[in-house]
Structures are given as C-alpha cells and as structure tokens.
Amino acid sequence: MSENRRRTRLVQDLPCGVGRFTWIMFESIQLTCWQCKTWRTESPSEIHPEKRATWRLMRYVSVLMKHVPANFLPELTGISPATALRYDKAVLEADLPPPNLDGIIGLLIDEKQVRRGHGYVTCVLNATTGELLHMGEGKKKESLTAFLDQLSEQQKASIKVACIDRAGAYKAALAEKLPGAKVVYDKFHIMQNLNQVIDEVRRSEMKKASEEMRYELKGQRYLLLKRPWKMNDDAKAQLCKLLSVNSLITTAYILKEAFDKVWDYTTKGWARCYLLKWCDWAKASGCSPLKRFANGIVKDADPIVGYCVNQISNGRMEGFNNLISRVIHKACGMPKLDYLWLKMRQISLQG
C-alpha cells in the first residue's frame, strides 16, 4: 500500500494537571491500494479510529458511568451525556467477552418493562453464575426462541431445568426448543398471584361491609400479606382484631399461610399430594377468587412442585430486574436496547 494523504487530527485525552481533558494533535496517514481499490487510515493504537478521543479517556468515562448519573458527566469531565454514552458503549463492545453458552445447567427467564407502555424485554440468566446470556425485545415466544436457536445440540443437552413465570409463551418456546429440560414455575410469582387473590377478597368484603366494618378493613392490605414472623406485637394484635371481624378474610388468610408449606417438601410426589389437597380446601372455602386460583394451580401442579426437587427460583432474576431499573434511571433513560444489553452484561459479569 502507498501513502495517499496526511491529515492533522485533534483528539481528547485525560487531563495533564489542571483541566478537564487534554487535546492531542497528530498526523494520521491514509494508505491506499490501487489494485484492490481500498483505503485505510493509520492512527496510533491508543486512539479510537472513529471517535475524537483516546481509549484511556473513553475507559475513564466508562468507569464514571458505572457510578455517576449521565447528566453529571459534563460537570466532571466536560463531556456531554450523549457523548459519554457513546464512549461507554464503544468500550463495552471492545472489552466484554461473548456470552458463555457452554455447560449451562439451569436458566432463569423473565420479562422486564424498560419503557412506558408495552416496552418489554426478555432476559435470560445462567442460574448458576448469574451471567446475562440474552436480552431480546418483547415478551413473546419469538423473544426466547431467538436465544434458544443460538445453542448447539450439545449446549441444549446440558440444560436440565428452566425457571419461568406462568406465561404460556415461554413454556411453548421451551417445549419446542428444549424438550429435555424440566420447566419450573417460579415460587415468588406463584406467591405474588396468591397475594393478589387475598387482596381481592379483602376489597370485595370491604365493598359489602357496613360503614363501621369498612373502617376496620380499610388500609389492611399489607397486614394480611406480611409474614407472621416479621410482625411485632402491635401488628399481631391488629391482625387478630382484623381476622375476628370477617370470617371469609380469616379463611383466605389461613389458606395463604397453609399454601406456603408446599415449598418445605423435598419429594415431588408428596408436594403434589399436599398441593392438590390445598386446592380442595380452597374450592370448599366458598370464596370465588380462591376457587379460581385453585383451578389454575391444579392445571400447573407439576411445574409448581418442580421447585421442591430442583430448588430453583427467579429470586436472582428479580434482583437483576431491579438493577435494570437503576441503570435506566442513572442513564436518564435508555433509548437503545443494544446499550442496555451491554451495561447489564457488564454488571452480571461483575457478580
């Protein structure tokens, strides 16, 4: 290749002494090959080929982006938030390794809302290491299938279990692409559904109650949902008073506490037997919301009691979803999902 032209460039670097950054002036050389009709610009390796900054400045900004909101960067570095996001994205693309898809035993799968309206993403974590393996737009079957199609037959064979919520789309994708993996419904989602039923019973009874009784039931949602061992003496006394004034709420509360016992079993058969017995109790309670919930539990009994054997839940995923919310807030919004994917990969690899 022969020299075509030289051009003077100015790029930003880390500050030297007082100041926010230093300007570096150098000559870049454009080389050309007349036979293959290609051009190439030669610059020092420490300078990014496209951006007006050195790699060490960009990495410094990337470190700040882990701890400081984006709108504070101009005050610290003189770099605009939009430019800081581009620097951070370039550093993450260059430094982060690809997802490790070998030797996966379990998968944690859940959706997360990242935008207003129906802006959801599907996240897949390695259940053992917590590494983020996939983040796809949407929460439909195709969002998960896009990840499963990347796996080789050997990688699919190593996956023994997958934990999801009760959404049918993820279950259908797993049944099609990972027929050998056991599906376990997340215990925290099940308990969340049951808590919603308990609150529905409370609100329904409050509508039918007299003015005096309505005063007793109003604002008692979290008292009914709180674990008994987390209550102080005042809360326990208040709960006893609440349960004494309404028999249907008392029945719902007792059934809620009884349902929690299913997670103590370590044998799938005994857990299923207890779960179906609980469903019979719920159907006999005379409470429509509990009957409806019990009918759904009977259909999903096997994936629910799968927790007792595999001891896998989406607790780690729920914590990861909270980190996503913090990252979006710190970045003052996340306009592009490819950058969110890189940021969450960085966090998951840090443990």
Q: Is the pLDDT of residue 117 over 90?
A: no
More confident residue, 301 or 35: 301
- The separation between CA 179 and the C-alpha centre of its own chain, rounded to angstroms, equals 24
Mean pLDDT throughout 161-167?
Answer: 90
Which residue's structure tokens are 């009760």? 166
pLDDT of amino acid 351: 63
pLDDT of amino acid 42: 74
Mean pLDDT throughout 30-37?
Answer: 76
At residue 345's C-alpha, the angle toward residues 21 and 322, to 5°, is 100
Confidence label for 108 from pLDDT (cuts 50, 70 and 90): very high
Length of the chain: 351
Give the pair of three-digit tokens for residue 163: 């934990």
| pLDDT, tens digit (0-9, with 9 covering 90-100), for 48-57 | 888 888 999 9
Return all residues near 137 (Cβ < 8 A) that are at least 6 apart.
Answer: 120, 121, 122, 143, 337
Q: What is the DSSP letter of 107?
A: E
| pLDDT, tens digit (0-9, with 9 covering 90-100), for 40-93 | 777 778 888 888 889 999 999 999 988 888 888 888 888 888 888 899 999 999
Instruction: With beta carbons less than 8 A apart as the criterion, state whether 141 and 170 touch.
Output: yes
Q: Where are the alpha helices (DSSP H) in 178-246?
A: 187-208, 211-217, 221-225, 233-245
The backbone torsions φ and ψ at residue 166, rounded to the nearest 5 degrees and listed phi first, read -85, 10
Q: What distances in angstroms separate CA 333 from CA 242, 317, 347, one per listed residue?
A: 43, 21, 17
Classify 236 as helix, strand or coil: helix
Give the pair of three-digit tokens for residue 152: 């080789």
Please tell me the distance from the alpha carbon of residue 113 to that of residue 119, in angstroms, as a whole number: 6
Mean pLDDT throughout 4-30?
Answer: 81
Please tell me the distance from the alpha carbon of residue 347 to that of residue 351, in angstroms, as a whole number: 7
Please tell me the distance from the alpha carbon of residue 34 to that of residue 38, in angstroms, as a whole number: 7
- The separation between CA 196 and the C-alpha centre of its own chain, rounded to angstroms, equals 21
Please tell me the distance from the alpha carbon of residue 170 to that of residue 184, in angstroms, as a whole number: 11
pLDDT > 90 in the chain, percent: 47
Confidence label for 148 from pLDDT (cuts 50, 70 and 90): very high
Q: Is the pLDDT of residue 135 over 90?
A: yes
pLDDT of amino acid 1: 65
pLDDT of amino acid 158: 94
Give which of 188, 184, 186, 190 is closest to 306, Cα–Cα. Answer: 184
Q: Is the pLDDT of residue 175 over 80?
A: yes
pLDDT of amino acid 335: 67
Classify 8 as helix, strand or coil: strand
Mean pLDDT throughout 36-42?
Answer: 75
Q: Is 97 exposed, middle or buried (0-12, 13-18, 19+ CB in 10 A)?
A: exposed
Give the pair of three-digit tokens for residue 282: 């719920």
Give which of 39, 79, 47 is closest to 62, Cα–Cα. Answer: 79
Topology adopted by domain 106-185+314-349: Nucleotidyltransferase; domain 5 (3.30.420)
pLDDT of amino acid 24: 86
Q: Is the pLDDT of residue 34 over 80?
A: no
Mean of per-residue pLDDT scores for the chain: 87
Which residue's structure tokens are 């061992």? 229
Q: Is the pLDDT of residue 30 over 90?
A: no
pLDDT of amino acid 225: 82
Torsion sign across C-alpha atoms 184, 188, 189, 191:
positive
Mean pLDDT throughout 24-28?
Answer: 84
Domain boundaries, the chain: 2-95, 106-185+314-349, 187-310
| pLDDT, tens digit (0-9, with 9 covering 90-100), for 196-253 | 998 898 888 877 767 767 666 777 777 788 888 888 888 888 888 877 877 888 898 8
pLDDT > 70 in the chain, percent: 97
Classify 96 as helix, strand or coil: coil
Q: In what order do the strands lie in the sheet with 22-33?
A: 2-13, 22-33, 38-42
Mean pLDDT throughout 287-316?
Answer: 92
Which residue's structure tokens are 């807030």? 329
What is the enclosing helix (H) or strand (E) of 55? Answer: helix 55-65
Mean pLDDT throughout 294-322?
Answer: 92
Confidence label for 297 from pLDDT (cuts 50, 70 and 90): very high
Q: Is the pLDDT of residue 174 over 90?
A: yes
